[in-house]
Amino acid sequence: MNADDEDDLPRISPRHLRLADELCRRRLSREVHSGKRNVNRTGDMRFAVSNRIEADSRLAQAESGPPRPEAFVEPDELEPEQQALYRAAARGYLDAFGTQAATVIDLGFRTALPELGVELSSNLGIAAELDNGGRELRKVLVGSRRDTKLFDAVDVRIALVRTEEWAPVQLDIVAVDVIEQRRASHSPDVEADRAEAHAWIGDRVARVLELAADPRPQAGRDCQGCAFISGCTKHPG
């Protein structure tokens, strides 16, 4: 179920599922219950290159076939350093997926889970319907730290739950750092792993909502990038 029109449901992100117990509960509560409404504006250029690579990757396989290299057009509006990164990332993407015939579709950014009364909000990556009928989720990273995993068990669970309609019987998850040329893939046992994913996410969502119901502020690292500083009793200024 696509949730783009479900503005009132609490919104749960992968970060909430992973870290809720360590986060400032006030920030957690506001992120879950008010999304980005009534917030301090935060900078938004950190994902300019990766967003552009994903957008162009979708264009490159909007129709069945291997990705069209000409869809990767160097973005004039970005800075020279970003353009250098874009060129390298486009090359890395084509290295990784250039021969694979597929059609890329858009699964949206949110999926409602009516049974839990929330929606899951995440970037699933690029959803490719392979010409052989397979379903492949491509998680594209643009220069990650070498000591970080390309994906983890939480990513897999979210992918399984959010792709239930699109990939009911088979799913391959492929994560590629197109700059560092690292690659990892996983083919879950869709039926068994999806059941486990639903149970795990159900438990974690309950925990997130429990913590968010007690929105005590906690000053610390979580204050960095917090969009809800206004009115926070920890920061009267």
Partner 1 sequence: MRAKRLLSDIVSLTPSNYEDFTRCPRLFYCNALLGLPASDPAPSTDQGLLVHDMLRKIHADGDCYDSEHVADVLVAHGFDTPAVRDMVARHADRCPSRASERAAHEVDVARFHRVPPPMFMATARIDAVWIHDGMIDARDYKTGGKWVDAVSEIAAAHVQAFVLAARARADGYRLRLRYEYLQPEVDEDPEPWELDDEALEAVEEELRAAVSRMWEQEEWRGVNDIEVCRTCRYRSICRDSAAPGEPAWPVLSTDPSGGDA
- Considering only 143, 198, 207, 215, the residue that binds partner 1 (CB under 8 A) is 143
Neighbours of 123 (CB within 10 A): 15
Coil/strand/helix, residue 19: helix
- Taking 3-state DSSP, the helix, strand and coil percentages for the chain, each rounded to the nearest 5, stand at 40, 15, 45
- Considering only 19, 71, 112, 179, the residue that binds partner 1 (CB under 8 A) is 179
Q: Is there binding between residue 133 and partner 1 (CB under 8 A)?
A: no
d(CA 147, CA 117): 36
Q: Is there binding between residue 184 and partner 1 (CB under 8 A)?
A: no
Among the listed residues 25, 6, 15, the one whose alpha carbon sits nearest the alpha carbon of residue 158: 15
Q: Is there binding between residue 223 and partner 1 (CB under 8 A)?
A: yes
How many residues make contact with partner 1 (CB under 8 A)?
42
If the CB atoms of residues 29 and 163 are measured against partner 1, the closer one turns out to be 29
Q: Is there binding between residue 71 and partner 1 (CB under 8 A)?
A: no
Among the listed residues 190, 180, 105, the one whose alpha carbon sits nearest the alpha carbon of residue 150: 180
Q: Is there binding between residue 148 and partner 1 (CB under 8 A)?
A: no
- Considering only 5, 70, 76, 81, the residue that binds partner 1 (CB under 8 A) is 81
Least separation in angstroms between CB 232 and partner 1: 8
- Considering only 43, 76, 115, 133, the residue that binds partner 1 (CB under 8 A) is 43
Q: Is there binding between residue 15 and partner 1 (CB under 8 A)?
A: no
Q: Is there binding between residue 88 and partner 1 (CB under 8 A)?
A: yes
Per the DSSP assignment, residues forming a β-bridge with 79 are none
Helix axes 25-34, 190-212, angle to 10 degrees: 110
CA angle, 183 then 184 then 187, to 5°: 145
Residue type, 15: R
Q: Which residues form the interface with partner 1 (CB under 8 A)?
A: 40-43, 45-49, 79-82, 84-85, 88-89, 91-92, 94-95, 142-144, 178-181, 219-226, 229, 232, 234-237
